């Protein structure tokens, strides 16, 4: 019985302390934060139908599924092709030698294949990168 009264007294003190802290957090004597600047006015809506024009910038890719930048300062882009190659685009040109070719390992077709690429944040130092791929079953004889 004594312990219950003690615990109830501690609970009430804790609730009072918490409510005091919360009240103090809500009332600040400092000046209010400055208002955010108003967003710029939206441009007027175009009259008539919207026309979208696409311009090809690169050819020679087969089933591209991902595009990455290694953030290594070279400006190169890495295009993941589903059948198992990662191609390099440099200065808007597709280089003839792939960055990675694992076509013999990839189970390609439908929703399977080489599907993604990620560069380690410290790629320039450690040269690590990661791929997401469906790898074909490899038969082994022991």
Q: How confident is the model at residue 124 (pLDDT cuts 50, 70, 90)?
A: very high
Instruction: Say whether pLDDT at 11 is over 90.
Output: no
What six digits make up the tokens of 132?
A: 């997401």
Token pair recorded at residue 56: 């090809």
The number of beta carbons lying within 10 Å of the beta carbon of residue 124 is 13
pTM for the model stands at 0.61
Question: So what's the pLDDT on residue 46?
Answer: 74
More confident residue, 4 or 48: 48
| 80 CB burial (10 A radius; 0-12, 13-18, 19+) | buried
Encode pLDDT of 93-122 as tens digits.
999 999 999 999 998 888 899 999 999 999
Distance CA 132, CA 128 (A): 14
Q: DSSP assignment of 21-41, as one string? A: HHHHHH---SPPPPPPPPPPP
């Amino acid at each position: 019985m004594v312990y219950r009264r003690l615990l109830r007294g501690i609970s009430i003190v804790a609730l009072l302390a918490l409510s005091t802290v919360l009240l103090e957090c809500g009332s600040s004597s400092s000046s209010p934060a400055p208002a955010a600047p108003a967003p710029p006015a939206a441009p007027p809506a175009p009259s008539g139908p919207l026309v979208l024009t696409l311009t090809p910038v690169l050819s020679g890719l087969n089933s591209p599924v991902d595009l990455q930048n290694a953030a290594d300062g070279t400006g190169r882009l890495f295009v993941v092709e589903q059948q198992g190659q990662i191609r390099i685009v440099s200065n808007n040109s597709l280089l003839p030698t792939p960055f990675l070719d694992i076509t013999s390992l990839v189970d390609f077709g439908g929703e399977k294949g080489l599907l993604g690429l990620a560069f380690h944040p410290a790629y320039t130092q450690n040269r690590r990168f990661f791929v997401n791929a469906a790898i074909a079953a490899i038969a082994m004889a022991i």
